[in-house]
Amino acid sequence: MTAAIVRIAAAAALGLLRGPEAAAQARASRGPLSSASRPAAIVDLRTVEGAALVEGEWRWADARIVEVDHRAPGPDLKPSGAPNRTHDLVPRAGGADFDDSGFEVIAPETLEARRSTGKLCFDWYRLRFTIPERIGAFETAGSTVVFEVVVDDYAEVWVDGRQRVVPGQVGGPLAAGFNAPNRVVLTRDARPGERHQIAVFGANAPLSSPPDNFIWVRSCTLDFFRARDSRAGAEVPLAVERNEAALDAIVPADARLEKLADGFLFVEGPVWHPDGWLLFSDPDANVVWRWDEESGLSIFRTKSGYAGADAGLYRQPGSNGLALDPSGLLTICEHGNRRVTRLERNGRITVLADRLDGRRLNSPNDLVHRSDGALYFTDPPFGLPRFHDDPRRELPHCGVYCLKDGRLALVNSDLRGPNGLAFSPDERFLYVSNWDEERKIVTRHEAQPDGSLTNGTVFFDMTAAPGREALDGLKVDARGNLYVSGPGGIWILSPDATHLGTLRGPELAANFAWGDADGRSLFLTARTGLYRLRLLVAGAGRAGASRF
Same domain, yes or no: 50 and 87:
yes
Range of the domain at 398: 234-534
Structural domain contains residue 5 = no
Same domain, yes or no: 212 and 301:
no
Can you give 429-469 as a three-state secondary structure string?
EEEEEECCCCCCEEEEEEECCCCCEEEEEEEEECCCCCCCC
Quick count: other Cβ atoms within 10 Å of Cβ 373?
12
For residue 532, the model assigns a pLDDT of 98
Angle at CA 11, nearest 5°, toward 185 and 31?
25
| Contact indicator for 348, 336 with CB cutoff of 8 Å | no
The Cα–Cα gap between 431 and 156 comes to 45
Structural domain contains residue 540 = no
Mark 285-304 as b/e (b = at least 16 C-beta within 10 Å): bbbbbbbbbbbbbbbbbebb
Structural domain contains residue 21 = no
Same domain, yes or no: 279 and 160:
no
Same domain, yes or no: 242 and 270:
yes
Which segments of the chain have a pLDDT < 70?
A: 1-37, 228-232, 542-548
Same domain, yes or no: 206 and 250:
no
The Cα–Cα gap between 517 and 329 comes to 19
Same domain, yes or no: 314 and 262:
yes
Structural domain contains residue 9 = no
Structural domain contains residue 6 = no
Q: Quick one: the chain helix, strand, coil %, rounded to 5?
A: 10, 45, 50
Same domain, yes or no: 240 and 333:
yes
Structural domain contains residue 435 = yes
Mark 209-236 as b/e (b = at least 16 C-beta within 10 Å): eeeeebbbbebbbbbbbeeeebbbbeee
For residue 547, the model assigns a pLDDT of 40
Phi-psi label, residue 516: left if phi above 0, alpha if psi -120 to 50, beta otherwise = left
Helix (H, G, I), strand (E, B) or coil at 7: helix
Same domain, yes or no: 165 and 243:
no
The Cα–Cα gap between 306 and 510 comes to 21
The Cα–Cα gap between 184 and 294 comes to 7
Same domain, yes or no: 209 and 305:
no
What is the C-alpha end-to-end distance of the chain, expressed in Å? Answer: 31
Quick count: other Cβ atoms within 10 Å of Cβ 52?
12
The Cα–Cα gap between 283 and 525 comes to 12
What would the pLDDT profile of 82-108 be if each residue is shown by its tens digit?
A: 999 999 999 999 999 999 999 999 999
For residue 545, the model assigns a pLDDT of 37
Same domain, yes or no: 269 and 226:
no
Same domain, yes or no: 300 and 374:
yes
CATH code of the domain covering residue 263: 2.120.10.30
Structural domain contains residue 417 = yes
What would the pLDDT profile of 293-306 be if each residue is shown by its tens digit?
A: 877 899 999 999 99
**Pick from 230, 257, 290: which residue ends a domain?**
230
What is the separation of C-alpha 275 from the centre of its chain, rounded to a whole number of angstroms? Answer: 10
The Cα–Cα gap between 368 and 383 comes to 19
For residue 2, the model assigns a pLDDT of 33
Number of domains into which the chain is organized: 2
DSSP 374-386: -EEEEE-STTSTT
Structural domain contains residue 133 = yes
Same domain, yes or no: 201 and 297:
no
For residue 1, the model assigns a pLDDT of 31
Q: H-helix or E-strand containing 138?
A: strand 138-139
Nearest-CA neighbor of 502 among 484, 520, 489, 521? 489
| Beta bridge pairs of residue 239 | 504
Nearest-CA neighbor of 325 among 377, 370, 276, 363? 370
For residue 408, the model assigns a pLDDT of 98
The Cα–Cα gap between 318 and 348 comes to 18
**Pick from 203, 230, 257: which residue ends a domain?**
230
Query: For the whole model, what pTM was predicted?
Result: 0.86
Angle at CA 280, nearest 5°, toward 284 and 258?
110
CATH code of the domain covering residue 201: 2.60.120.260
**Pick from 230, 254, 274: which residue ends a domain?**
230
